[in-house]
Structure 1
């Protein structure tokens, strides 16, 4: 269990009314509007993707990488572009993007590495761009971390609820103490203590103990709840043995020779 000391939240007592009671409309603060805008953009970047069978998910082995305008040698500082066409395990080209890809460039001689930039065209193709920082032999790698169906499932599960972690608040008054349930959202008709973070305008709640003020909260303990928002079929997406190879087009992208430009 993890114990957290509480020391800076503003707090107040809050009664929870039945769902049938009217709830006054509250205008969003500038921070809340900004957070809402960011979440909406993330939702657009990770839209729901259908998952019916492993064979229709992205396959690293069947995907094709092509170096655009290939050269025998490159100058330091040049940009190298790779067009990546992702396919499923049946060899069919994917018609949408959203795959979690990792593009890396490394210099074995210098023991140095850097990330590439991945542009998703949302049609099953990606542009992977590297800036060639070093002279000598440079190796490139493209890794499929999660197929788009897996990334979509994780994002949905992440937003589905806050029940994964159990929060318990410790209230101390003199020599007596009591633990009550806490959380970002509480499905309880009991009187609640509200702890507001003025900077982020986010509230955290605890069930108010009898005969103790909200200010008596001193520590928080947490533990994981045995709950998952992924279906058994979705869980299979994250078994590496089932996903097969994660390296994309390992034999299609050779070592790159980089020289000092004039």
Structure 2
């Protein structure tokens, strides 16, 4: 007997097979429609009787086979294809939240972000949901030893509680104990399939709590990548040209978009681009100062704005796990090597205990009195080059030691060079800001904004020369290629300086976490990407690192300028490498 189309409809009525997931029902409906259409077509052709029998029997057998195994074989592949079809907004950018495999700022990363630009969020049920995600500790123990590693597996789910099948979520992990004022960072590995591995070293005795934070879901990360890479002129820079009593203000930028005549101010030595609209009847050399402001507009759709609502930022995952750690059986104190350049920047780089930062890889010292700081800096010339977060170091040292005299350079503007000296101990301490782009509402003279690579080329170096570098805060709104080019130019100058004066100490401060009030421009995902680039560019050079990223992320600091207490701990690391 040849089954009719009605018979096929009856056989594949998904309501009769409750063992299937709701998603499978959609697959069966689709198959049923195909089968019915084929059989009906054959019904209309009497001459195709033999073919009809063969095809119908084959269809029936296939359907019964699929039903009997419950889609065991097909399930994963079919569901993935359905999700790929129905959620084109899902990010195809698989940027690792802990260690991206491809080169930061590479053409591949930029291309991926550009591809994501065409994808708009329309169905939020597919967005990663922290409260639906599952956290499991691997081989949990009743007691752990100091120095051992707690391994955790995280499986992310979306708002409809479906398992995520692609990565890209930005997750931060830490262990902490509020009573002990202790905290240490964890390392998150993105497996690219919606699951994540988390490794956390246990670094103090006593109890510790596990914390996992979804900073941004993958869908928000894709939007931030798109905005960063495809809309470069989100910051407005206004340059003031002065000729006699005439002043004219024009637009300036790294990538200036204008139909007007342009002053090309690209640095000939480094190739760093900068340009301004040329004012009529004035020379390009008449540029005197500049300031900036952020464009007050949104760069995403109304639907996408919901990804950055307050309740969707820094959402904790559901985890309630406490670890008890005891000292190792071998009570011999572990001896760490002295803090010297060339040790790299392992993760975790350290941990807080009793509010003080402790290095995990070198024997750092404490500099709790002005005398200890002064003795360390005696007869040294210290250059702090970069942004305002390393200017905080200059300000702290001048204020804390009390022995410095401020040298007034008699210039207007907050970003003017800062110089202080201690005659008695022969210490010179100075700060200079980095070159364009430098975001500031304060009037800043163009001559004070110098590219760090050029500043380094003018430094002789030597055993009494110490250089601290810090960039990042002013680059989060720009394409990654802008920052990577800058850091590679600086690294080339550092390498040249160290080849000429190997005794020179160079210490790189990584960017710290920041406020996220204007999240489309300034956010910690973009900051983290800059940290990755900095690590990658300098990892082969004989420099030291101050991991300000881990030191601020582990205490949930959300300020572009960390507290004085954190600045002090950063300087304890810095001075440990100096002395």
Q: TM-score range by the shorter chain?
A: 0.7 to 0.9
The structure showing larger relative contact order (alpha-carbon pairs under 8 Å, at least 6 residues apart) is 1
Compare CA radii of gyration and give the structure with the larger one.
Answer: 2
Post-superposition shift, 1:184? 2.4
Which sits farther off after the overlay, 127-136 or 220-229?
220-229
1:168 aligns with 2:238: yes
Partner of 2:303: 233
| Aligned counterparts of 2:135 and 2:213: Cα–Cα separation in 1 | 12
For the 8 Å contact 2:241–2:249, the answer to whether it is kept is: yes
Which sits farther off after the overlay, 40-49 or 120-129?
40-49
Partner of 1:104: 174
Query: Of the candidates 117, 136, 143, which is equivalent to residue 73 of structure 1?
Result: 143
| Aligned counterparts of 2:167 and 2:140: Cα–Cα separation in 1 | 25
Q: Aligned pair count?
A: 224
1:246 aligns with 2:299: no
Normalized per residue, which structure has more strand? 1
For the 8 Å contact 1:169–1:179, the answer to whether it is kept is: yes
Post-superposition shift, 1:238? 1.2
Partner of 1:13: none
Post-superposition shift, 1:107? 2.6
| Aligned counterparts of 1:160 and 1:44: Cα–Cα separation in 2 | 10
TM-score, structure 2 normalization: 0.37
Structure 1 residues 200 and 95, CA gap change in structure 2 (3 angstroms): farther
* 1:26-175 superposed matches below 5 A: 38-40=104-106, 42-43=109-110, 48=116, 51-175=121-245
For the 8 Å contact 2:215–2:314, the answer to whether it is kept is: no
SS of the residue corresponding to residue 235 of structure 1 reads helix
SS of the residue corresponding to residue 126 of structure 1 reads strand
1:164-211 per-residue CA deviation (whole Å, 9 max, x = no partner) reads 222221111122221122222333333211112356522111121223
Structure 1 residues 80 and 37, CA gap change in structure 2 (3 angstroms): closer
For the 8 Å contact 1:164–1:227, the answer to whether it is kept is: no
Q: Which runs of 5+ in 2 are unaligned?
A: 1-101, 330-579
Cα RMSD for the two superposed structures: 2.4
Post-superposition shift, 1:50? 6.5
For the 8 Å contact 2:130–2:316, the answer to whether it is kept is: yes
Normalized per residue, which structure has more helix? 2
Partner of 2:322: 255
Structure 1 residues 43 and 207, CA gap change in structure 2 (3 angstroms): closer
SS of the residue corresponding to residue 83 of structure 1 reads strand
1:180 aligns with 2:250: yes
Post-superposition shift, 1:43? 4.5
